[in-house]
Amino acid sequence: GNSVTQMEGPVTLSEEAFLTINCTYTATGYPSLFWYVQYPGEGLQLLLKATKADDKGSNKGFEATYRKETTSFHLEKGSVQVSDSAVYFCALTQWGKLTFGTGTQLKVEL
């Protein structure tokens, strides 16, 4: 079956540091890939997505590139802010169903 593996957290960074959260997946065919973010006390929100190989999803300074050859979809941001503190979930979808990674908590400190 499909699976998503992402790095364990928590990840603690200083403000303006560079962020990378690794995500790799296992799936048959060509799934769409997503990053969701969950702020404290809120539901998951779609952060960005990519639907085919070499696509780059981007939003709010975050980026991720669909790498079919390495089955990866790593999340990056050049300069994080305190307001980026949240839990980030990598996910894929096939046949209308989402499969999630375990989530990575990001803490950004001043």
Partner 1 sequence: GAVVSQHPSWVICKSGTSVKIECRSLDFQATTMFWYRQFPKQSLMLMATSNEGSKATYEQGVEKDKFLINHASLTLSTLTVTSAHPEDSSFYICSARPGTSGDNEQFFGPGTRLTVL
Q: State which residue, 17 or 32, has the beta carbon closest to partner 1.
A: 32
Smallest gap from residue 67 Cβ to partner 1 (A): 21
Task: Indicate the residue among 1 and 110 with the shorter CB distance to partner 1.
Answer: 1
**Residue closer to partner 1, measured from CB, 3 or 79:** 3
Q: Sheet harboring 62-65: ordered strands across?
A: 19-21, 75-77, 62-65, 56-59
CA–CA distance, 37 with 91 (Å, rounded to integer): 11
Tokens of 22: 């690794």
Q: Which is nearer to partner 1, 21 or 101 (CB)?
A: 101
Token pair belonging to 102: 């375990």
State the residues that interact with partner 1 by CB under 8 A: 4, 32, 36, 41-46, 89, 93, 95-103
Do residues 101 and 4 make contact, with C-beta atoms less than 8 angstroms apart?
Answer: yes
Q: Shortest gap between Cβ of 74 and partner 1 (angstroms)?
A: 17
Which two three-digit tokens encode residue 1? 């079956």
Instruction: Supply the minimum distance, in Å, between the C-beta of residue 9 and partner 1.
Output: 9
